[in-house]
Structure 1
Amino acid sequence: MGFHTFDSDRAKRLEDAAERYRYCSREELHGLVAPHAEMRLADLGSGTGFYTDDLAPHVGTVYAVDVQATMHEQYREKGLPETVELVEADAADLPFGANDLDAAFSTMTFHEFADARALAEVARVLRPGGRLITVDWDHDGAGDAGPPRDETYALDDAVALQTDAGLLVERAERRPETFVTVARLAD
């Protein structure tokens, strides 16, 4: 797992609201992230900004982080909200200072970047009490949607990666195809 990227030739699929909201709705994401006007937030694996756009009006700054320049090009074509800053970077090498972010989130991309280095880097850039919110395809899910299961993490493995990085996992739940975790950096 890790270091797999979504095929940018299929990026238009990332804008399919009916399909995307089937696994994580805008309302669920808002409830998990709890955005506020001063929040500095990173969307890890932002792609074309589908979920970034849902949070952008409610935060001070949201960094749309993606390793693929072509995803950012498509996001620019769609139109960037004024609170969005595009960041081309790998999750294991984020261009933020220590304690810079109030939160980071990943929707259906954790399996693409997650490893010990990336999680340590995310923990480094979160402020004390900062949170990492993850919704991703579950290796132990039904397998009817998402990437091949051999490219995904099981919930327990995702929790272990986050815990090993020094994050306290406050919520971890499995659903039919996906899992959700909310982890916090100790104060």
Structure 2
Amino acid sequence: MRTLKTATHPDVHTLEDKSVFHRLASRAIVVRGTDILLLFTERYHDYSLPGGGVDSGENEVDGLIRELKEETGAQNVRNIRPFGAYEEFRPWHKPDYDVMHMVSKCFWCDIDEELGEVSLEDYEVKNGMRPVWVNIHEAITHNKETMAKSDKQGLSVERETFLLERIAREIAC
């Protein structure tokens, strides 16, 4: 899978003498015209692609399907095709590691029209996460405003905005 970008958080100056936690994530790209299925997170006031960490013993496609179903209620996930990977190095918030190295592998896919029930984790519920269909350009504009003006933005908003811009270029809308 092609690497779209490698990003390093400004607080990560070097990996020398650092303990690094490696995480593989899968993210879904589901589009209908100029609308895209995203997660809106109230806590961070941003839009993100559905997806998350691939569990031990799980491949990236199985992780993608599981995460997409849990976070959006997607049904009959099919026609899965690679889009690209976003690699990042950022500070790790737990005491056992200094840095997290995450590779987010993104895949195009199709789903049934109707969404089913979501099965969010406790922290996702507390953060006010919910699936929404939104115009991709509106989501990009919204995320850019959050990056420019909000003090509550999360570490993922730059990744998500970059990916949304690349997706918008590829669907040429």
Q: Same fold (TM over 0.5)?
A: no
The structure with the larger Rg is 2
TM-score by length of 1: 0.24
Whose strand fraction is larger, Structure 1's or Structure 2's?
2
Q: TM-score, normalised by structure 2?
A: 0.26
Q: Which structure shows the higher helix fraction? A: 1
